[in-house]
Structure 1
Amino acid sequence: MENGGSEGRDPSGFLSEIIGTPVTVKLNSGVVYKGELQSVDGYMNIALEQTKEYVNGKVHRTYGDAFIRGNNVQYISADS
């Protein structure tokens, strides 16, 4: 069976492809971080650069670098 599009792909392949690109990370608490993905490991621990923290849709804080522990992550998505 051919691997067309993103269906059936290993998530680690997707994550390695988006290193260095803008991403949105939503936490279980509802807080959202947007920044440039620098690294992600097997536990979904995420390192971001040029990070903005959004609370209730508004910028709450700005960070140069941020490290997000994987067990807090609800999802990560690539920004276009």
Structure 2
Amino acid sequence: MSELTSEAPPAAPAAPAPTSLTPSTYLKSILGRPILVRLHTGVTYRGILACLDGYMNIAMEQTEEYGITGELESRYGD
């Protein structure tokens, strides 16, 4: 299982999220923002969420790959 988080700075407290917020809706709301994807293997990717398809596959831009030790391994994209 992978973990996906937005790296946006914390915002002021807001009203509770609507109950109709789905994972797909959430991902669409953060398109173009920095995200962090952590795989179950421990590898982490940091980059900009570029797009999302109907199967919730994502594409990222300006992405950096960090190994399980936290060291930068590769850079991908623009």
What does residue range 55-66 of structure 1 map to in structure 2 within 5 Å?
55=67, 56-64=69-77
Q: Report matched runs for 1:1-80 at 5 Å.
A: 4-5=16-17, 9-55=21-67, 56-64=69-77
- Measured after TM superposition, the shift of residue 46 of structure 1 is 1.3
Higher normalized contact order (CA 8 Å, seq sep 6+, divided by chain length): 1
Which of structure 1's runs of 4+ aligned residues deviate more than 4 A? none
| TM-score, length basis structure 1 | 0.67
How far residue 31 of structure 1 moved from its aligned partner, in angstroms, is: 0.6
User: What's the C-alpha RMSD, in Å, of the aligned pairs?
Assistant: 2.1
Structure 1, unmatched stretches of 5+, are 66-80
Q: More strand per residue: 1 or 2?
A: 1
Alignment coverage as a number of residue pairs: 63
Larger-gyration structure (1/2): 2
SS at match of 2:49: strand
Percent sequence identity over aligned pairs:
46
TM-score, normalization: structure 2? 0.68
Q: Structure 1 residues 29, 6: closer, same or farther in 2, change over 3 A? A: farther
